[in-house]
Amino acid sequence: MTAKASSLVLECIYQHERNHAQKVFLTQPTGQGQVVDYTWAQTMDQSRRMAAHLRSLGLPHGAKVAILSKNCAHFFMSELAIWMAGFTTVAIFPTESADTVKFVLEHSESSLLFVGKLDEWHKQEPGVPTHLPKIALPLAPPTSHDKWDDIVARTEPLSGEPWREPTDLAMIIYTSGSTGQPKGAMHSFERISAAAHGIVNRTYETMGEGRDDHRILSYLPLAHVFERAFVETMSFIDGRMHVFFAESLDTFLQDLQRARPTIFISVPRLWLKFQLGVFAKMPARKLNLLLRIPILKGLVSRKILLGLGLDKVELAGSGSAPLPAELIRWYRRLGLNMIEGYAMTEDYAYSHTQNAQYNEPGYVGQPYPGVQVRISDEGEILIKSPGQMIGYYKRPDLDAESFTSDGFFKTGDLGSRRPDGQLKITGRLKEQFKTSKGKYVAPAPIENRINANPMIELSMVSGSGFERAYALLVLAEDLRPKLHLEDVRAEIQAELLQLLEDVNAQSADYEQLKMLVVSPQAWSIENGCLTPTMKIKRSRIEFGVQHQIDAWYNSDQAIVWA
């Protein structure tokens, strides 16, 4: 069902439209447990009608058209319409502030905005220029804008198979911006197509070619490259995908149970939360004991995966940030075929992944076919990928800084490679900090060791300029409401002391932590401590606690309750 590897994404889409017209492609929840299914024919009919409308607006070829929406079927349709009409997509994270929405729309010079499924449109709308034309998708908040359904009802579909040149710009992906203003990575049709073909091929190599009707749940932000490449573009390239969408955070487990995905991708924070949810029902020690008993292991594992909605998963993936090696081993003990990958916005998520043969926990696997990699003298990972961006939009200064003279992208990540090509990420070049002893500390490996503990939801290692580093912790969601109970707090204190000892035993002397500090609040997208893809915003978190740090060090306590 896949097209030949040289086919551009639109060619594949037209092939699916012809060959799988009545196959359900997208399943959209609409509330109260109801869903709407869209076949390939229905998906393309709506997309073609909107493409015809966009063309009628007289915008220049390659004009930027923005989408501000949570994941939904009409995000896919909007992108298809934009492409067929001859334009370029600019997707904006649905959780961004009005200021960031304004920046992206103005910086990208967007000519129109699709307003979709959103939680806080009333807060974001002030960032949208009043003169900018807007179209409301079917699940958008109530607005006075022209409505998608009205437009497609009155517009004849665009005919034929509109062509886009391989070098045409398909999309600008703005980074979520853990520091500073977002940057717009420009991706052409030939490069996103090459990356998607490679992802499809490696996916089936890793899990086998057993079925012809794979199911996948789309819930990570489509404005981010991970979901865009591994769910949307992969499903555009491959005709075997049935994409389900999540309705909301509150209905996520029901959405997962509905989809019963055969392929499931997530980010480390959610894999950790799934595990903590299991431990909330069955303590880790008891579960580990049961998993050691051969006659019970299969039964217990199946029950856990069924409860998570992952019992049909043939391939589970993690990306966007490092996943603790122990967590990978834990999921594999349950029978989940879990792999980890590594890539960036700038290479359209086409860099490294584990596979059936090379999947050592703690490593992110081998390069995808066609990817070149080397380690600089400073230890930085340098990548040249078939999915590599054209450059940063309107930022030639950044292009000059970001590439070597022979075209390798400077990832900013530190790493090492084994003789078999497997890559290990050891930290971020810019995240390294120097203690007062003059030694550099890389936070990521230490944070991975901390995050492997089921009591911990998130952690951040810091301490620039001090004699020893410290770690700021967010406790697991089920523990936080119990901290007022003296016996619970005392037990957690003892466990944290043991954790500190264990982490320090695995660290070089200059990396050993002076203390663990328990944060009084969780870190979230809403309070500005996490990016839309749930990576921690170090500078934001460090700024928030800067006035307390001296007191923590002066207290000489190994466990500090902030």
pLDDT in tens, 215-255: 999 999 999 999 999 999 999 999 889 999 999 988 998 99
Instruction: State the pLDDT at residue 495.
Output: 93
CA atoms of 488 and 84, how far apart (whole Å): 59
Instruction: State the pLDDT at residue 86.
Output: 97
Whole-number Cα distances in Å, 310 to 25, 269, 271, 355: 20, 17, 12, 19
Please determine, for residue 88, whether its predicted confidence score (pLDDT) is greater than 80: yes
So where are the chain's domains?
Answer: 9-207, 267-358, 370-418, 433-561
Residues 405-444: tens digit of each pLDDT:
999 999 999 999 999 999 999 888 888 888 887 888 889 8
Instruction: State the pLDDT at residue 409.
Output: 96
CA atoms of 489 and 234, how far apart (whole Å): 47
The C-alpha angle with vertex 390 and arms to 385 and 394, in degrees rounded to 5, equals 145
Q: Phi and psi of 349, rounded to 5°? A: 60, 20
Q: Please tell me the pTM assigned to this model.
A: 0.86
Please determine, for residue 69, whether its predicted confidence score (pLDDT) is greater than 70: yes
The region of weakest confidence among 41-55, 158-172, 326-340 is 326-340
The region of weakest confidence among 128-142, 151-165, 321-335 is 321-335
Whether 9-207 shares its CATH topology with 370-418 is answered no
Instruction: State the pLDDT at residue 296.
Output: 87
The third-level CATH classification (topology) of the domain covering 433-561 is GMP Synthetase; Chain A, domain 3 (3.30.300)
E strand map for 105-168? 112-115, 134-136, 146-147
Instruction: State the pLDDT at residue 292.
Output: 86
Residues 19-60: tens digit of each pLDDT:
999 999 999 999 988 999 999 999 999 999 999 999 999 999
The third-level CATH classification (topology) of the domain covering 370-418 is Luciferase; domain 3 (2.30.38)
Please determine, for residue 178, whether its predicted confidence score (pLDDT) is greater than 60: no
**Percent over 90 (pLDDT), the chain:** 65
- CB–CB of 461/443 below 8 Å? yes
Please determine, for residue 1, whether its predicted confidence score (pLDDT) is greater than 60: no
Least Cα distance to 75 among 59, 87, 89 occurs for: 89
Instruction: State the pLDDT at residue 213.
Output: 82
The enclosing H or E element of 190 equals helix 189-207
Q: How far apart are the first and last CA of the chain?
A: 56
Please determine, for residue 181, whether its predicted confidence score (pLDDT) is greater than 90: no
Residues 5-22: tens digit of each pLDDT:
568 999 999 999 999 999
Name 518's bridge partners. 473, 561
Residues 103-147: tens digit of each pLDDT:
999 999 999 999 999 999 999 999 999 999 999 999 999 988 999
Instruction: State the pLDDT at residue 177.
Output: 53
Q: What is the largest CA-CA distance in the chain?
A: 73
- CB–CB of 244/261 below 8 Å? yes
Instruction: State the pLDDT at residue 444.
Output: 85
- For the chain, what is the mean pLDDT? 91
> Strand 409-417 to strand 423-428: parallel, antiparallel, or no bridges (unpaired)?
antiparallel
**Percent over 70 (pLDDT), the chain:** 97
- CB–CB of 170/187 below 8 Å? yes
Instruction: State the pLDDT at residue 2.
Output: 46
Confidence bin at 368 (pLDDT 50/70/90): very high
- pLDDT greater at residue 289 or residue 371: 371
CA atoms of 177 and 521, how far apart (whole Å): 22
Say which CATH class 9-207 falls into. alpha beta
